[in-house]
Chain A
């Protein structure tokens, strides 16, 4: 069959690693991990809304005063997000082409729906991220937010969030997006562990449960904000409307 093969050089091995099926999985897992860490950090930041207007605006101002940090995180996240999406789409099509003729009768034993719809939940998250950036970061969709300032003259992020989620439609879209995120993570977390090789028969069911738990925590951690706004648990400061 094949001729005698010499050892591959380390450089060749690295190139082979990145473009191999396992390498692609690991890439997807690692970029996903960074996105997950960002999502978690962002949630903790958001939850400061329950500590009041001063705390949240102080936090927002503090971030603004660290442009080097903000921009390096933004650029890194953009790169990880782009790689994760690009690889995800690539994997989706490669996997479709691996079975050119599909079965007439299809059956599934144990693959959860979330695992089979990652590309769609992912697309949902992407659409929302675009809207979310236009809404709160670039303030394109609701330019009136730009004029909000608190008594200390800082940008009033607190009021901006409350005004945003007082709108039922915006809150509804937000909840749907958080559901997509939660759904995506419920497969992503156990899948991450398997891909980087931390799994065995004993841990497989535990990791599944852990995935669900973390996903649910993220969902509620985010969704509690529009819920608190809509139920008037947190209200606009005096004089803002």
Chain B
């Protein structure tokens, strides 16, 4: 398969970037999107051109390192992450636009690589439970109803890739923060710090410069882990609860 690529190139954080055109030739349809970029990069290196920088790690949809906005949608708007997207899903000979996740809270480092430490700082602000270290407690010492455990797991499926921010017309980080807040609020282990957690995580989210949620639900539509916007409603409830608590 052959593709025409329009790729965002930017030397460094301070430089002004622009779209460049490249050809992707003789691509196997079973290659992942990242493998396609690897092929293009090999070609660029041979020609003495700086290869395209992009984030990746596990390449199996579990780490959340890969990003990319493909034809206007994070992770291409398909099921799963960019590393899971196969080239056969694109039409042979088509033109593909590749841009970095764009948000004030995600400044570009180089080309398609963006700095997503803002979401780490939101986690540091409250996305944890305090517990003693030492001998492991017995499994099932704390009983959790099945439905609560399932719901908490649905929220915990978030891999923190930031696609929700990239998809949101307001670059809001609410789906991510809501998933983390909800996951811990649903479990007994998260009760002790429940109010403090939502207050701190929301405060940190606002400091980082994410936009405000206006309920477009674009985040939910592109989330590779299918996190529901019901968790944003839950976070709103948690936040109001923390105010009167």
Measured between C-beta atoms, what is the minimum distance from A184 to chain B in Å?
13
Q: Hey, which chain B residues are within 8 Å of A100, CB to CB?
A: 104
A101 and B103 alpha carbons, distance in the complex (Å): 8
Interchain CB contact under 8 A, A105 and B99? yes
Interchain CB contact under 8 A, B206 and A20? yes
A26 and B206 alpha carbons, distance in the complex (Å): 15
Interchain CB contact under 8 A, A98 and B236? no
Measured between C-beta atoms, what is the minimum distance from B182 to chain A in Å?
12
CB contacts under 8 Å to B, within A78-116, are 91, 94-95, 97-111, 115-116
Q: Does B239 contact A (CB under 8 A)?
A: yes
A196 and B237 alpha carbons, distance in the complex (Å): 7
Interchain CB contact under 8 A, B124 and A22? no
Interchain CB contact under 8 A, A111 and B104? no
Measured between C-beta atoms, what is the minimum distance from B101 to chain A in Å?
10
Interchain CB contact under 8 A, B236 and A105? no
A90 and B222 alpha carbons, distance in the complex (Å): 27
A196 and B240 alpha carbons, distance in the complex (Å): 9
Size of the chain A interface, CB-CB below 8 angstroms: 49
A7 and B236 alpha carbons, distance in the complex (Å): 20
A194 and B220 alpha carbons, distance in the complex (Å): 14
CB contacts under 8 Å to A, within B167-187, are 167, 169-172, 174
Q: Hey, which chain A residues are within 8 Å of B209, CB to CB?
A: 98
Q: Does B3 contact A (CB under 8 A)?
A: no
Interchain CB contact under 8 A, B211 and A94? yes
Q: Does A201 contact B (CB under 8 A)?
A: yes
Q: Does B205 contact A (CB under 8 A)?
A: yes
Measured between C-beta atoms, what is the minimum distance from A21 to chain B in Å?
5
A25-B212, A116-B216 given as contacts; is B97 within 8 A of A13 (CB)? no
Size of the chain B interface, CB-CB below 8 angstroms: 56
A103-B69, A109-B77, A200-B233 given as contacts; is B221 within 8 A of A116 (CB)? no
Interchain CB contact under 8 A, A199 and B229? yes
A11 and B8 alpha carbons, distance in the complex (Å): 47
Q: Does A17 contact B (CB under 8 A)?
A: yes
Interchain CB contact under 8 A, B199 and A95? no
CB contacts under 8 Å to B, within A103-156, are 103-111, 115-116, 118
Q: Hey, which chain B residues are within 8 Å of A25, CB to CB?
A: 212-214, 236
Interchain CB contact under 8 A, B215 and A109? no
Interchain CB contact under 8 A, B229 and A109? no
Q: Does B2 contact A (CB under 8 A)?
A: no
Measured between C-beta atoms, what is the minimum distance from A239 to chain B in Å?
53
A–B complex contacts, Cβ < 8 Å, 28 sampled = A1-B124, A7-B196, A8-B199, A17-B239, A17-B243, A20-B203, A21-B202, A95-B169, A98-B170, A98-B171, A98-B172, A98-B211, A101-B17, A101-B102, A103-B69, A103-B72, A106-B72, A108-B218, A109-B73, A109-B218, A110-B220, A116-B169, A116-B216, A191-B215, A194-B229, A195-B215, A199-B230, A204-B229
Taking Cβ atoms with an 8 Å cutoff, the residues of B that contact A are 6, 8, 17, 19, 69, 71-73, 77, 97, 99, 102-105, 124-125, 167, 169-172, 174, 196, 199-200, 202-203, 205-206, 209-218, 220-222, 228-230, 232-237, 239-240, 242-243
- Besides the known contacts A23-B239, A109-B222, 4 further A-B residue pairs in the complex with CB atoms under 8 A apart: A21-B172, A25-B212, A26-B236, A109-B218
